[in-house]
Amino acid sequence: MNLESVRAFVAVAEEGQFRHAATRLGVTQQAVSKRVAALESHLGVALFRRVPTGAVLTGQGESFLPHARAVLMAVRQAVASVRIAGDPLRVDVLRSHLASAEMLRDFHRTHPDIALESVTLAKADAAVRALLDGEIDVAFAYLRSPVEERDPLLTSIPVYFEGLEVVVGARHPLAGAERLRPGDLGPFTAWMPGIVGGSEWGEFYREFGEAFSLVIDSSGPNFGPEALLETIAASNSLTTFVGQKTRLTWPEGETLYRIPLVDPTPTYPWSLVWHSHNRPPGLRDLVAYVRAGFRPPGRASVWLPGGADVPAPQAL
């Protein structure tokens, strides 16, 4: 049985579409179709029914799926058993300028002997798939629902509740304020280009905007943080949002202000996620490091997106 055919079958079963499975695997849709067809030929059964919305498992496909996952898990465990001690710990940080990357850099400063490799996946769903496929070892993410509900082999812990700040240019009416309430931003448009549709952080800003009746505009091309800040610096009406640990470099010659939001503080809940059967070198140290540094905020002082909660300290 061809392992790549099994991998393609699992990807289609989880994604529901051959096109999405191809994107996940980094191959063409035709290649995925051929691999699944070869597997169906080998087994002598149809694994999917093609429907207008994609692909649905047949009864035989549903029976085969847990065994296919077990095959892939066995392969991942076999590979992990011979990983060299010096292999880097592969960590998804979402974006290199965000709090997740700062936490990983802080960890590296205290554990310089542990080799690290950071990756930047588009959203939590991509990170979960990469964890299950053995492509990464651990990920920082905001989880809209307990990851253990998606797959009991995954483990997560809360690591940082990051308050939001608003960024405005020197020409903006709010420039120079020491702190602001979310309601103070109502008359202004917050520009957030580059939000990935369906991402957990996109949903965070959607819920945040609805909760406080704010206009959050994600339209337009995303040319990166520097270009965004140049636009904000030149505007007397636009704002944008960043997390407290987000690293920013001001455009040369421009003055911008990072102003904390309070009463309540909109808060982005970061978690650390890993595969419970994966024990690469350095993972235990990273988990211990973020556990030791976790400080839950006061429940009455923060706004969290729907479904999120502030865990008690003993939850760790």
80: left (phi over 0), alpha (psi -120 to 50) or beta: alpha
pLDDT score of 312: 57
The b-or-e profile of 199-219 (16+ CB within 10 A means b, else e) is bbbbbbbebbbeebebebebe
The CA distances from residue 5 to 35, 120, 132, in Å, are 5, 27, 17
pLDDT score of 311: 64
pLDDT (tens digit per residue) in 227-261: 999 999 999 999 999 999 999 888 888 899 999 99
pLDDT score of 263: 93
Question: Is the CB of residue 241 less than 8 Å from the CB of residue 167?
Answer: yes
Angle between helices 29-43 and 18-25 in degrees, nearest 10: 110
- The CA distance from 230 to 149, in Å, is 42
pLDDT (tens digit per residue) in 191-240: 999 887 778 889 999 999 999 999 999 988 888 888 999 999 999 999 99
Enter the DSSP assignment of 93: -
pLDDT score of 224: 85
All structural domains of the chain, each given as residue ranges with its CATH number in brackets, are 3-81 (1.10.10.10), 86-316 (3.40.190.290)
Continuous segment of H or E residues that includes residue 40: helix 29-43
Within 10 A of 163 (CB to CB), how many other CB atoms are there? 19
pLDDT score of 24: 79
- The CA distance from 234 to 239, in Å, is 11
What backbone phi and psi angles, to 5 degrees, belong to 65?
-55, -50
Which segments in the chain show pLDDT lower than 70? 80-86, 307-316
C-alpha angle with apex 76: 87 to 290, nearest 5 degrees?
A: 55
